[in-house]
């Protein structure tokens, strides 16, 4: 048996997220189907984590097992030949059997793109941004600073999700200009993220930037560990999984 690691990019717009679901178009489902077309055997693809419906990826990582004689085929090209254009394999490689896309991951990078123009969002960018209108970047950066480091992020997790621990370490939150003059890209690096964590943090930062939430109130939300204290989750289309880091 051989294990293959894949780096996967997708436009999440027309997917019901990463994870396989009955009667839904999912990225995992599309990749598994493409592998089966090549090997004619059922395949189980393990991603580094789920991405929600509408969320994009530039560098999702996944792995799957195959018989040894499939080991040396050019998987990247072969899979791309069997998949729709909104998913592409960017890279494939043979890895050791102890590599696991999810359990071996030591960190992830997400980016969230905001659009700032109350009157319109450019149609060409609408699938990849959240039009949050005018915000004050300095206030958002002050708010972001209190989230850096190791905290219990239970207040920033989708309700109803069960995990061993809700403690995570955010190592960096940074901002840079986007593709057009109306965009900013917020980059989040952590040892891991809870379900919807980036989107809930983003909605908090935007609330701060709009003057609807103070930095002190954000501090209280963090300390409360209570999801109901934080604003509604930011929409999925602004979010993209950029990379997953392994030892």
Annotated binding site for substrate: 110
User: Contacting a copy of itself (CB under 8 A), which of 31, 89, 201, 239?
Assistant: 89
Residue from 22, 42, 123, 160 in contact with a copy of itself (CB under 8 A): 123
d(CA 87, CA 70) in angstroms, rounded, equals 22
Distance CA 219, CA 224 (A): 9
87 near a copy of itself, rule: CB under 8 A: yes
Q: Closest Cα partner for 147 from 165, 172, 164?
A: 172
Q: Which of 64, 33, 34 is nearest to 48 (CA)?
A: 64
Site for a copy of itself in 7-26 (CB under 8 A): 9-11
Nearest to 45 by CA among 85, 17, 3, 74: 3
Tell me the Cα Rg of the chain. 19
Kind and range of the H or E element at 39? Answer: helix 27-39
Q: Give the other-Cβ count within 10 Å of 188's Cβ.
A: 23
Query: In angstroms, what is the minimal distance from the CB of 73 to a copy of itself?
Result: 15
Listed ranges 42-50, 84-92, 101-109, 190-198: which one lies at the site for a copy of itself (CB under 8 A): 84-92
Whether 68 sits among the annotated catalytic residues: the reply is: no
* Interface stretch with a copy of itself, choices 18-26, 40-48, 82-90, 103-111 (CB under 8 A): 82-90
**Closer to a copy of itself at the Cβ: 120 or 146?**
120
Nearer residue to a copy of itself within complex by CB, 53 or 240: 240
Do 170 and 189 contact (CB within 8 A), yes or no? Answer: yes
Structure-token match 């965009």, residue found:
183
Nearest approach in angstroms of CB 99 to a copy of itself is 23
CA distance 9 to 57: 5
Binding status of residue 179 toward a copy of itself by CB under 8 A: yes
**Of 94 and 122, which CB lies nearer to a copy of itself in the complex structure?**
122
H-helix or E-strand containing 217? helix 215-224
If one asks whether residue 181 binds a copy of itself (CB under 8 A), the answer comes out as no
Give the list of residues 6+ apart from residue 80 with CB closer than 8 angstroms, or none.
88, 89
Q: Which is nearer to a copy of itself, 58 or 225 (CB)?
A: 58
Q: How many residues does the chain have?
A: 247
Among 85, 98, 134, 164, binds a copy of itself (CB under 8 A): 85
Give the active site residue among 11, 14, 52, 67. Answer: 52
Query: Does 215 contact a copy of itself by CB under 8 A?
Result: no
Instruction: Select 130 or 153, whichever has its Cβ closest to a copy of itself.
Output: 130
Q: Which residues bind a copy of itself (CB under 8 A)?
A: 9-11, 56, 58, 76-77, 80, 85-90, 119-124, 126, 128, 179, 240
């Amino acid at each position: 048996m051989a294990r293959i690691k894949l780096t996967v990019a997708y436009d999440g717009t027309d997917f019901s997220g990463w994870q396989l679901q009955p009667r839904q178009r999912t990225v995992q489902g599309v990749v598994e189907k493409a592998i089966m077309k090549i090997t004619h055997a059922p395949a189980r693809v393990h991603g580094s984590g789920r991405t929600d419906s509408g969320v994009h990826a530039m560098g999702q990582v996944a792995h799957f097992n195959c018989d040894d004689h499939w080991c040396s085929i050019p998987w990247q090209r072969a899979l791309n030949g069997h998949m729709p254009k909104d998913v592409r394999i960017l890279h494939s490689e043979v890895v050791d059997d102890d590599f696991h896309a999810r359990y071996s991951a030591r960190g992830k990078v997400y980016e969230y793109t905001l659009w700032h123009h109350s009157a319109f969002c450019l149609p060409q960018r609408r699938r990849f941004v959240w039009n949050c209108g005018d915000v004050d970047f300095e206030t958002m950066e002050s708010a972001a600073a209190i989230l850096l480091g190791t905290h219990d992020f239970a207040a920033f997790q989708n309700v109803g999700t069960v995990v061993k621990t809700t403690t995570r370490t955010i190592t960096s939150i940074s901002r840079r200009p986007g593709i057009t003059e109306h965009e900013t890209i917020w980059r989040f690096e952590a040892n891991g993220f809870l379900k919807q964590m980036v989107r809930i943090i983003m909605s908090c930062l935007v609330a701060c930037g709009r003057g609807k939430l103070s930095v002190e109130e954000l501090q209280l939300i963090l300390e409360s560990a209570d999801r109901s204290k934080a604003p509604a989750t930011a929409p999925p289309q602004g979010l993209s999984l950029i990379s997953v880091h392994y030892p």
